[in-house]
Amino acid sequence: MFTGSSVALITPMKADGQGASSIDLEAFDALLAWHQQAGTASVVIGGTTGESATLDHEEYIQLLTHAVERLKGRVAVIAGTGSPSTEHTIHRTRLAQALGADAALVVTPAYNRPSQRGLLAHYQAVADASDLPVILYNVPSRTACDLLPETALALAKHERIVAIKEAVPDTARIQTLLDGGLCVLSGDDPTFVRSMEMGASGVISVASNIVPNTMARLCALAKDQQFDEARRINRMLEPLYAFLGVETNPVPAKWLLAQMGRCQDAIRLPLVGLDSQYHAKGQALIESIKAIDENMGGE
């Protein structure tokens, strides 16, 4: 589960009116089946891209239970369990283990802005609290909290802290983590091939929501050290990477999937649907990326 292409899966929803929405389990099932067929190594349920901040407790249980039932033994299920509260993160991690998840993805605590000593204590407490493998997740652009490489390497001495999803696109930082022996999963789609050239094991990707076949193929090429071909294909995805960043994730990803007929364009407040100024660019992008991904699925 700690190699290859993993998807930070969106949570498909139904628009119920007046800004309300409910989980679309039929679309969720179809997405899970699509990723299994495409060769996605693992799915992250209830992560940032899955709108974890606005999922209630019962919805989280429903999504995770559903994914485990449909994918167990075929595609690894990674539960997003991080929160600003250590106590709540421990509760979520224990719950994920009880529901059958294969690992926990634990983002740095947002808003609190803990020190590096605080991060050490936080993650050690979480890792001590269950038997579930823990993947550290560093995305300071979201959390205003940066897990520094030396802190991550200190945490990696814990037997259950097995990897890091590093979303800072800094080659020096990646190299330090790799040199320290930590399994690195890129959290930055535009630079993940470069990270894999350096020795990263894979990617936890937003783009994989849209082009799962292609992302799985890219990881396979990188694993086989066919970097020239990986770079060639990756350049074809650069317009997609750029589009996925025109507004806050997962707004563009959900809009693209809705246009592809894979979910409704429904998202929870305070996020709102993609601004109409980007629609024409998105429509122009869809046919090209669909063709690329379908071709990769045949290889």
The catalytic position among 137, 223, 241, 281 is: 137
Residue closest to 13 by CA, chosen among 71, 59, 65:
59
Residues 105, 22, 39, 235, CA torsion sign: negative
In this structure, are residues 265 and 282 in contact, taking their beta carbons and an 8 Å threshold? no
The verdict on whether 254 is a catalytic residue reads: no
The catalytic position among 165, 278, 281, 290 is: 165
Rounded to 5 degrees, φ, ψ at 234 are -60, -35
How many CB atoms neighbour CB 285 within 10 A? 20
Q: Give yes or no for a cis peptide into 190 (omega within 30° of 0).
A: no
The verdict on whether 137 is a catalytic residue reads: yes
Residues ≥6 apart with Cβ < 8 Å to 13: 21, 22, 23, 24, 263, 264, 266, 267, 268
Q: Which residues have a catalytic role annotated?
A: 137, 165
